[in-house]
Amino acid sequence: MSYPVNPPPVEQPRKVNRKGRTALIVAAAVSVLACSGLTFIVVKSVADGVAAVAPTGRPAAVVGSTGGPAPAAPDEPSAPAASRFTLDVEITDRECFGTAGCHVTFRVVPGWSGDLGDTPWLITYELSGVEDGPMVGSIEVVGTTYVDDGEEFAMTPSSKAKLRAKVVRVSRA
């Protein structure tokens, strides 16, 4: 015995609620206009020498007689100079393949002068001497310690290639 196969019901297109869409467009336009007006007021205030206040309640910028912004707040330390840091590349394993180059396992070990305090800093470095151009990596340091992410791997063009790491940026971690 066979049963007739009923085709699946065809879904009808839904009606779009135009009133809801219109309200959304009007609300977006009002928001854009309000933000533009607020931006004008802040820029005008800063140009007149009045402090602009950030959402945190602290001054965002104050224009003084020199025309430049005020220095950073004293509770936020500025990033240490890149020259305070040294980077040593310790090669832990090397497997060479004649003229095809070498697989190298290495670790970048940072050094720095003085105590960096309790603020964690991210040291971004560029590693040269690898086959496909410089590699970029980073190390986090706090006070007198650093976070060791373990060993890294690279390919060098020959067994005589020297890996060198150079600090390119210091930023808050």
pLDDT tens-digit readout, 77-124: 789 999 999 999 999 999 999 889 999 999 999 999 888 889 999 999
Judge whether 123 and 68 are in contact, CB under 8 Å.
no
Judge whether 156 and 100 are in contact, CB under 8 Å.
no
Predicted TM-score (pTM) of the model is 0.56
Cα of 3 vs its chain's centroid, Å: 64
Radius of gyration of the chain (CA): 30
Percent of the chain with pLDDT over 70: 57
Sequence letter at residue 70: A
| Confidence at residue 136, expressed as pLDDT on a 0 to 100 scale | 95
Please report, for the chain, the start and end positions of each structural domain, with discontinuous segments joined by +.
Answer: 18-61, 82-172
Largest Cα–Cα distance in the chain? 97
| Confidence at residue 133, expressed as pLDDT on a 0 to 100 scale | 87
Rounded Cα distance between 50 and 87, Å, is: 45
Judge whether 154 and 104 are in contact, CB under 8 Å.
yes
What digits encode the pLDDT tens for the residues 15-44? 444 455 555 565 555 555 555 554 444 445
Name the token pair of 39.
Answer: 């931006």
What three-state secondary structure class fits 92?
A: strand
Judge whether 160 and 114 are in contact, CB under 8 Å.
no
pLDDT at 143 over 70: yes
| Confidence at residue 76, expressed as pLDDT on a 0 to 100 scale | 72
